[in-house]
Amino acid sequence: MTSRNDLPPITPPPAAPTGLMGRFRNYFLTGLVVAGPIAITFYLTWWFVTWVDGLVRPFVPIAYRPETYLPFGLPGSGLIVAVIALTLLGFLTANLIGRSLVDLGERLLGRIPAVRAIYRGLKQIFETLFSGQGSSLRRVGLVEFPSPGMWSIVLISQSPSTEIANSLPGQEEHISVFLPCSPNPTTGFFFYVPKSKIIEVELSAEDAATLIMSAGVVQPGSDQQKKIAALAGVANAARIAKASPLQPAPAKAE
C-alpha cells in the first residue's frame, strides 16, 4: 500500500507567458469588451433613426426637407417630424372632437372581420406597455421549469381572464408569465402558473434581459471593471491550458 508520503509532489502549473503576443491578446480582448457594446449601441441607434427617416421622408414636402437647402442630408429630421406629429395627434385626441374621430375610426375598423381582431389585440398591447400605469412584464420571478430543481427567469404578466381562470384546474389563483429564451429574449414561452409557485425577485426587467442574453455571463450588479477582469482571467486560463497540455501521471513505485 502506498503511503501519502510516497505520492509524487504536485507541481504547480507553469506561469502564464508574458510575451508580446500574450499581452497583445489581453489588451485586444479588453478593448473588445469596452468598444463592442458602444459600437453595437451606436449601430442600432443609427439604424432606428435612418429607418424612421425613410418612413417619414415621403410624407414631407420637398420644400420642407433639410437636404433641399443643405448639400447633405440631415439624419434624424424624420424622427423629429414623427415625434412632433405623434405629439400633435395625442393632443388632438385628448379633446372631444379628437375622441369622436377616434371612436368613428374604431367603429369602422370593427366592421372588418380580419382587421378587427388584429387592431383590438395591438391596441390592448400598446395601452398596457405605454400607459405607464400597469406592471405587466415589469416584475421578474423564478419558476421551477423545465424540471424539478431547475429554475428559470420569467416576466410576470396579468392574471387570466374569468373564462380562462374558471377552466384552469384547482382552486388556486393563477397568473400568466412569459419565459424568455436565451440569447434572444424576444422569443420564449407563455403559460399560466399557480401564484404560489412563483418566487418574485428584486430584479428589474432590463437586468433580467441582460442576464438572459448573456446566458448568465453578466450577472446583475457586476460593474464594468469586474467584467473586464473576468474576461482577462478566462483568456489567461485558456492560454495556460493551451501552453501546458496534460501530462501522463508517473507510475507508482512497486
Tell whether 28 is covered by a domain: yes
**Within this chain, do residues 156 and 202 fall inside the same structural domain, yes or no?**
yes
Tell whether 251 is covered by a domain: no
**Within this chain, do residues 119 and 183 fall inside the same structural domain, yes or no?**
no
Tell whether 79 is covered by a domain: yes
Average pLDDT (71-96) is 83
The C-alpha angle with vertex 132 and arms to 181 and 191, in degrees rounded to 5, equals: 30
Separation in Å, CA 228 to CA 16, 25, 189, 207: 18, 13, 33, 18
**Within this chain, do residues 96 and 148 fall inside the same structural domain, yes or no?**
no
**Within this chain, do residues 104 and 207 fall inside the same structural domain, yes or no?**
no
pLDDT at 22 over 60: yes
What is the per-residue pLDDT for 244?
54
**Within this chain, do residues 122 and 194 fall inside the same structural domain, yes or no?**
no
- Report the phi/psi class of residue 132: left, alpha or beta, with left for phi > 0 and alpha for psi in -120 to 50: left
pLDDT above 70: percentage of residues in the chain: 75
Lowest pLDDT segment from 151-155, 191-195, 209-213: 209-213
Average pLDDT (172-194) is 87
Could you tell me which residues come within 8 angstroms of residue 26 by beta carbon, excluding any fewer than 6 positions away?
A: 232, 235, 236
Tell whether 25 is covered by a domain: yes
Q: If pLDDT is split at 50, 70 and 90, which confidence band does 254 have?
A: very low
What is the per-residue pLDDT for 245?
52
**Within this chain, do residues 64 and 45 fall inside the same structural domain, yes or no?**
yes
**Within this chain, do residues 186 and 121 fall inside the same structural domain, yes or no?**
no
What is the per-residue pLDDT for 74?
81
Tell whether 193 is covered by a domain: yes
**Within this chain, do residues 68 and 144 fall inside the same structural domain, yes or no?**
no
**Within this chain, do residues 150 and 101 fall inside the same structural domain, yes or no?**
no
Tell whether 164 is covered by a domain: yes
**Within this chain, do residues 121 and 145 fall inside the same structural domain, yes or no?**
no
Q: If pLDDT is split at 50, 70 and 90, which confidence band does 235 have?
A: low
DSSP 57: G
More confident residue, 220 or 145: 145
Lowest pLDDT segment from 50-59, 188-197, 205-214: 205-214
Q: Is 60 helix (H, G, I), strand (E, B) or coil?
A: coil
**Within this chain, do residues 71 and 25 fall inside the same structural domain, yes or no?**
yes
More confident residue, 87 or 130: 87
* Average pLDDT score, the chain: 77
Q: How many helices (H) and strands (E) does the chain have?
A: 7, 5
pLDDT at 25 over 80: yes
More confident residue, 70 or 49: 49
**Within this chain, do residues 101 and 37 fall inside the same structural domain, yes or no?**
yes
More confident residue, 143 or 66: 143
**Number of structural domains the chain divides into:** 2
pLDDT at 242 over 60: no
Average pLDDT (69-96) is 83
Could you tell me which residues come within 8 angstroms of residue 253 by beta carbon, excluding any fewer than 6 positions away?
A: 2, 6
Average pLDDT (59-74) is 82
Look up residue 167 and give its amino acid: S
Model confidence, pTM: 0.54
Tell whether 222 is covered by a domain: no
Q: If pLDDT is split at 50, 70 and 90, which confidence band does 57 have?
A: confident
Tell whether 3 is covered by a domain: no
Residue 178: give the domain boundaries: 139-213
What is the per-residue pLDDT for 221?
67
pLDDT at 91 over 70: yes
Q: Select from 82, 99, 132 the last residue of a domain.
A: 132
